[in-house]
């Protein structure tokens, strides 16, 4: 199952134990975590929950999309849909948990890792943290509630981070609202010991300088419009290394996924609830295998690794708005619900 669930002292411990796969989250792991949270919720022996991961390289590099691809190319879209439905319920449960939830996020923390760690009540990053929402590169939209974090980021930072997948070190993760505190990783064992005693005492340090604040003026200017062609045109007219690099990144991603990401953020507004964000994301992910670029994006990036995806709509200027609207249309009886949380 690759996740160690236990009670240690007064803490419910969730430790991902799949370091050889950068602690990628599988359906079985996600379900086990949710069930553990349900069991500890009313247990008086558990004062708080602590989420961390084994291995030096990653807290969690994302969901196991290779497994979704293997099922999807056989026409079994239901596997991925069931995984996302259950995973999103887990994300919502973490955010609404009645006890403190502390996440220690080192190394790679991306996609599903963001959903696991960044909805906790106390989010700690360290010197090795590299956080990102890189889904547009594989034809998906930022999900697991990531669009809520992006929507609440300063200025147009969310649109930039969500479409480019730019990695954030610890200072930038805190600045963008994906984390709360920085603590050198050498101090984490002592913190774990304190937390396991039941004491919610968080010694924190000054994080490394953030790089995003200095880029805010350019980001806000180029990403002022939620329209992808307008953003690309603005970047093409730019004469800075930032504009050139950002343009190259956007031109490599799925135009359909990027346009849908911008539309999701526009619809959600500046301060959506997590459940609103998850429900909107699920509209896209439910359709992503059969009607968007996900299977092709995973093939190119992870399966064949040729880095040459053949997107359904390679020309962003000719992308039909009606298709984006369709991918984000209500799902009716298939909509995401949270009934299992009641």
User: For the segment 197-210, what is each residue's pLDDT rounded down to a tens digit?
Assistant: 999 999 989 999 99
Dihedral, CA of residue 150, residue 155, residue 156 and residue 162, to nearest 10: -20
Set 143, 279, 281, 296: catalytic member? 143
What whole-number distance in Å separates Cα of residue 46 and Cα of residue 261?
A: 38
pLDDT at 1: 75
% residues pLDDT > 70 (the chain): 99
Mean pLDDT, rounded, for 310-325: 93
pLDDT at 321: 87
Q: 43, exposed or middle or buried, with CB in 10 Å at 0-12, 13-18, 19+?
A: exposed
Token pair in block for residue 116: 């696991």
Set 34, 52, 135, 180: catalytic member? 135
CA-to-CA separations, 267 to 203, 263, 283, in angstroms, rounded: 38, 6, 13
115 is catalytic: no
Sorted by where each starts, the structural domains of the chain and their CATH numbers stand as: 1-342 (3.90.226.10)
Query: Which of 147, 159, 96, 107 shows the shortest CA–CA distance to 338?
Result: 96
Distance in angstroms between the alpha carbons of the first and the last residue of the chain = 26
pLDDT at 147: 98
Query: Which of 164, 250, 254 shows the shortest CA–CA distance to 212?
Result: 164
117 is catalytic: no
* Span 88-137, pLDDT tens digits: 999 999 999 999 999 999 999 999 999 999 999 999 999 999 999 999 99
% residues pLDDT > 90 (the chain): 96
Token pair in block for residue 125: 């990053």
pLDDT at 120: 98
> Is residue 341 predicted with pLDDT exceeding 60?
no
4 is catalytic: no
> Is residue 340 predicted with pLDDT exceeding 70?
no
| pTM passes above 0.85 | yes
Mean pLDDT, rounded, for 174-182: 98
Mean pLDDT, rounded, for 160-172: 98
135 is catalytic: yes
């Amino acid at each position: 199952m690759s996740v160690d669930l236990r009670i240690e002292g007064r803490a419910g411990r969730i430790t991902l134990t799949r370091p050889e796969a950068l602690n990628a989250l599988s359906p079985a792991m996600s379900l086990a975590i949710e069930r553990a949270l349900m069991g500890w919720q009313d247990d008086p022996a558990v004062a708080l929950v602590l989420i961390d991961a084994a291995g030096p390289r990653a807290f969690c590099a994302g969901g196991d999309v290779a497994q979704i691809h293997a099922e999807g190319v056989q026409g079994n879209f239901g596997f991925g849909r069931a995984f996302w439905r259950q995973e999103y319920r887990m994300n919502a449960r973490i955010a609404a948990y009645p006890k403190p939830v502390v996440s220690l996020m080192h190394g790679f923390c991306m996609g599903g890792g963001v959903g696991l760690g960044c909805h906790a009540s106390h989010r700690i990053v360290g010197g090795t943290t590299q956080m990102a929402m890189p889904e547009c590169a594989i034809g998906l939209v930022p999900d697991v509630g990531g669009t809520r974090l992006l929507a609440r980021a300063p200025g147009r930072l969310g649109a930039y981070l969500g479409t480019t997948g730019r990695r954030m070190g610890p200072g930038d993760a805190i600045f963008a609202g994906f984390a709360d505190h920085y603590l050198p990783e050498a101090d984490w064992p002592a913190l774990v010991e304190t937390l396991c005693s039941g004491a919610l005492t968080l010694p924190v340090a000054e994080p490394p300088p953030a790089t995003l604040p200095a880029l805010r003026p350019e980001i806000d200017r180029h990403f002022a419009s939620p329209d992808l062609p307008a953003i690309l045109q603005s970047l093409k007219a730019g004469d800075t290394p930032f504009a050139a690099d950002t343009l190259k990144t956007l031109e490599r991603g799925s135009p359909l996924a990027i346009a849908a990401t911008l539309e999701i953020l526009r619809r959600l507004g500046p301060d959506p609830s997590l459940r609103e964000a998850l429900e909107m994301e699920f509209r896209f992910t439910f359709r992503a295998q059969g009607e968007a670029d996900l299977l092709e994006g995973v093939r190119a990036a992870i399966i064949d690794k040729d880095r040459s995806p053949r997107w359904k709509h390679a020309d962003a200027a000719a992308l039909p708005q009606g298709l984006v609207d369709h991918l984000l249309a209500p799902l009716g009886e298939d909509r995401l619900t949270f009934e299992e949380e009641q």
